[in-house]
């Protein structure tokens, strides 16, 4: 089976670095499914889920990213993201609380954070892409 | 001639100083390991960001909006100097070399008719520039504690800098910091942060140019660049903060190691002096007894 090496990097550390079968990243204009041999692309990301699949298309890991960049070439995919959380460690109640807090402040500054928090909640709730 | 008791007290006080410095050395050594790991963990992100930027930099032609971070304002009049020092002392020449270098830089820029402002990071450089160039400080950042707060602290500095930049408050920003070379040596380095110094990545660019030419960009080059450039500023600052933090611990470790060794030497020489004095005292008493006995 063909595989593609995938790096998920945050400013603090390298979170994932292995050969995988497929990755789905949340591109700015729509989700990108990346298979080995993908054409060369540099894309910005919107807040959303980064899903990592093994060679037999089983879900290995899923992360939430708050935005960032992806650089893709046929052998390698690199995702640079600022805030990365592994989805299984996120608590729904905490995120809901965060949203409530941000909504009550309702300032220009928190607007962006609110969008990210909402996307985070969506990412927890959504189950599509879990099996492909 | 000091009495035996005086020497004894001196030995004891040097001994307790030695204990303190060797404890500080040990603390610095373990902190150094942590800081070093942090600095190394941050490296992949910044190097990949630079690579991406290098492949995009060639496409930036217009000098509008955020792209200004790359192309500059077109002026060369207002400078902002950011010395990055530690918050605490007792780390050898770490802080003073930064202050000296930043001061020299500011003076030489002023000498050639530029307007210089300062934005010290770290208590030691803030205090120094508060004394010598108080009215040129526009903002200072202290107690960053980068190894525990992480990326957030760099973001604060970066946001402030970009706010000032887009208000037209300065044209060029230069960082002065200690580059971490090894556990025992740091190198005072100047880095131009804004506008981005492409000359650094030029070599890489040439090397990779052939392979970069065929990238697709989504949404498009300019949008990506607009996202990438502010992030790059924050990442560069983050990297510098981490390097400086690791350097600080290394410098402190070396300084405390030296102090411990000096204290050890001092104790040795004081002990020798103590024994000699004691011996002289005994000899003197003996002579007195003998000459007393002889005279009878």
Span A94-128, pLDDT tens digits: 888 888 888 777 666 677 777 888 888 887 787 77
- In this prediction, residues B160-181 reach a mean pLDDT of 89
- Going by the DSSP 8-state scheme, the letter that residue A132 receives in this structure is -
- A10 and B45 within 8 Å at the Cβ level: the answer is yes
- In this prediction, residues B116-125 reach a mean pLDDT of 92
pLDDT of residue B200: 52
Is B171 within 8 Å of B73 (Cβ atoms)? yes
What number of H helices and E strands is found in chain B? 8, 5
Task: Pick the residue from chain A with its C-alpha nearest to B50.
Answer: A80
Share of chain B above pLDDT 90, in %: 45
Task: Pick the residue from chain B with its C-alpha nearest to A77.
Answer: B48
**Chain B interface, best mutation among A15, A25, A26, A44, by max B CB count within 10 A:** A44
Q: How far is B151 from chain A (nearest CA, A)?
A: 7
Orientation angle between helical segments B4-57 and B221-294, nearest 10 degrees: 170
Q: What ipTM was estimated for this complex? A: 0.76
A71: nearest CB among B45, B52, B235: B52
Q: CA nearest A90: which of A126, A127, A128, A123?
A: A123
Q: How far is A59 from chain B (nearest CA, A)?
A: 25
What's the burial of B229, exposed, middle or buried (CB within 10 Å: 0-12/13-18/19+)?
A: buried
Is B173 within 8 Å of B165 (Cβ atoms)? yes
Instruction: Tell me the residue ranges of DSSP E strands in B132-283.
Output: 172-182, 185-194, 216-218
| Distance (Å) of CA B255 to CA A24, B92, B180, B192, B264 | 50, 5, 15, 30, 14
- A80 and B42 within 8 Å at the Cβ level: the answer is no
Angle at B287 between CA B283 and CA B292, to 5 degrees: 150
Is residue B135 scored above 90 in pLDDT? no
pLDDT of residue B208: 46
Interface of B with A (CB under 8 A): 38, 41-42, 44-46, 48-49, 51-52, 55-56, 150-151, 154, 214-219, 223-224, 227-228, 231, 234-235, 238
The maximal CA–CA distance of chain B, rounded, in angstroms, is: 114
- In this prediction, residues B165-174 reach a mean pLDDT of 88
- A78 and B48 within 8 Å at the Cβ level: the answer is yes
- B219 and A78 within 8 Å at the Cβ level: the answer is no
Q: How far is A11 from chain B (nearest CA, A)?
A: 5
Q: CA nearest B24: which of B74, B94, B88?
A: B88
Rounded CA-CA distance B83/B103 in Å is 9
Is A16 within 8 Å of B243 (Cβ atoms)? no
Share of chain A above pLDDT 90, in %: 20
pLDDT of residue B59: 61
Higher pLDDT, residue B101 or A83:
B101
pLDDT of residue B266: 96
Rounded CA-CA distance B42/B36 in Å is 10
Rounded CA-CA distance B204/B206 in Å is 5
The pTM score is: 0.83
For residue B214, the chain A residues in CB contact (below 8 A) are 40
Report the range of poorest mean pLDDT among A109-118, B40-49, B155-164, B283-292.
A109-118
Rounded CA-CA distance B206/B203 in Å is 5
> At which residue do the structure tokens 């190097």 appear?
B47
- Assign 3-state DSSP to chain B and report helix, strand, coil percentages, each to 5: 70, 15, 20
Q: How far is B13 from chain A (nearest CA, A)?
A: 43
pLDDT in tens, B205-217: 444 444 445 678 8
Chain B touched by A108 (CB under 8 Å):
no
- A11 and B44 within 8 Å at the Cβ level: the answer is no
pLDDT of residue B209: 47
Rounded CA-CA distance B109/B24 in Å is 38
Instruction: Tell me the residue ranges of DSSP E strands in B62-215.
Output: 78-83, 115-118, 172-182, 185-194
B48: nearest CB among A32, A44, A80: A80
Mean pLDDT score across all residues of chain A:
85
Is residue B170 scored above 70 in pLDDT? yes
Q: What's the pLDDT band for A11 if we cut at 50, 70, 90? A: confident
Q: What's the pLDDT band for B199 if we cut at 50, 70, 90? A: low
Q: How far is A67 from chain B (nearest CA, A)?
A: 10
Q: What's the pLDDT band for B46 if we cut at 50, 70, 90? A: confident
Is residue B67 scored above 80 in pLDDT? no
Higher pLDDT, residue B231 or B104:
B104
- B235 and A14 within 8 Å at the Cβ level: the answer is no
Contact residues for B52 (Cβ-Cβ < 8 A; gap 6+) = A42, A69, A71, A80, B228
Is residue B23 scored above 70 in pLDDT? yes
**Chain B interface, best mutation among A6, A33, A42, A68, by max B CB count within 10 A:** A42
- B219 and A29 within 8 Å at the Cβ level: the answer is yes
Share of chain A above pLDDT 70, in %: 95
- In this prediction, residues B138-158 reach a mean pLDDT of 83
Strands A22-27 and A48-53, how do they pair?
antiparallel
Rounded CA-CA distance B67/B70 in Å is 5
Is residue B1 scored above 70 in pLDDT? no
Q: What's the pLDDT band for B201 if we cut at 50, 70, 90? A: very low
Rounded CA-CA distance B114/B172 in Å is 11
Chain B touched by A74 (CB under 8 Å):
no
Q: What's the pLDDT band for B125 if we cut at 50, 70, 90? A: very high
Chain B touched by A55 (CB under 8 Å):
no
Mapped onto helix, strand or coil, the DSSP state of residue A108 is helix
- B48 and A39 within 8 Å at the Cβ level: the answer is no
Report the range of poorest mean pLDDT among A34-48, A87-101, B279-293.
A87-101
A69: nearest CB among B38, B41, B52: B52
Is residue B270 scored above 60 in pLDDT? yes
B235: nearest CB among A11, A43, A67: A11
Higher pLDDT, residue B114 or B221:
B114
Mean pLDDT score across all residues of chain B:
85
Task: Pick the residue from chain A with its C-alpha nearest to B46.
Answer: A11
Instruction: Tell me the residue ranges of DSSP E strands in A21-104.
Output: 22-27, 30-34, 41-45, 48-53, 59-65, 68-73, 76-81, 84-86
């Amino acid at each position: 089976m063909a595989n593609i090496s995938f790096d998920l990097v945050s400013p603090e550390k390298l979170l994932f670095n292995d050969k995988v079968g497929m990755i789905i990243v949340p591109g700015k204009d729509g989700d990108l499914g990346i298979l080995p041999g993908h054409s060369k692309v540099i894309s910005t990301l919107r807040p959303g889920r980064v899903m990592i699949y093994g060679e037999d298309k089983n879900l290995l890991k899923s992360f939430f990213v708050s935005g960032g960049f992806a650089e893709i070439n046929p052998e390698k995919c690199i995702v640079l993201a600022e805030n990365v959380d592994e989805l299984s460690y996120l608590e729904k109640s905490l995120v809901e609380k965060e949203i409530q807090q941000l909504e009550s402040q309702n300032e220009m500054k928190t607007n962006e954070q609110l969008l990210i928090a909402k996307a985070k909640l969506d990412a927890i709730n959504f189950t599509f892409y879990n099996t492909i | 001639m000091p009495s035996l008791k005086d020497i004894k007290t001196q030995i004891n006080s040097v001994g307790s100083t030695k204990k303190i410095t060797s404890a500080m050395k040990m603390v610095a050594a373990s902190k150094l390991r942590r800081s070093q790991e942090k600095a190394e963990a941050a490296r992949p992100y910044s190097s990949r960001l630079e690579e991406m930027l290098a492949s995009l930099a060639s496409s930036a032609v217009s000098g509008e909006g955020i792209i200004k971070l790359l192309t500059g304002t077109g002026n060369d009049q207002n400078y902002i100097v950011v010395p990055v020092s530690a918050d605490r002392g007792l780390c050898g020449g770490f802080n003073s070399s930064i202050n000296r270098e930043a001061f020299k830089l500011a003076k030489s820029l002023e000498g050639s008719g530029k307007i210089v402002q300062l934005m010290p990071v770290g208590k030691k450089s803030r205090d120094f520039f508060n004394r010598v160039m108080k009215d040129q400080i526009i903002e200072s950042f202290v107690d960053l504690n980068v190894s525990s707060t992480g990326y957030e602290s760099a973001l604060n500095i970066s946001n402030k800098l970009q706010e000032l930049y887009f208000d037209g408050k300065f044209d060029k920003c230069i960082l002065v910091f200690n580059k971490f070379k090894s556990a025992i040596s740091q190198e005072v380095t100047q880095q131009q942060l804004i506008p981005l110094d492409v000359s650094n990545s030029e070599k890489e660019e040439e090397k990779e140019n052939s392979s970069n030419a065929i990238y697709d960009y989504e949404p498009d080059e300019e949008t990506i660049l607009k996202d990438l450039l502010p992030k790059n500023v924050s990442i560069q600052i983050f990297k510098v903060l981490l390097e400086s933090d690791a350097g600080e611990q290394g410098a402190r470790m070396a300084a405390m190691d030296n102090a411990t060794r000096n204290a050890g030497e001092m104790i040795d020489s004081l002990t020798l002096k103590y024994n000699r004095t004691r011996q002289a005292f005994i000899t003197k008493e003996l002579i007195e007894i003998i000459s007393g006995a002889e005279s009878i």
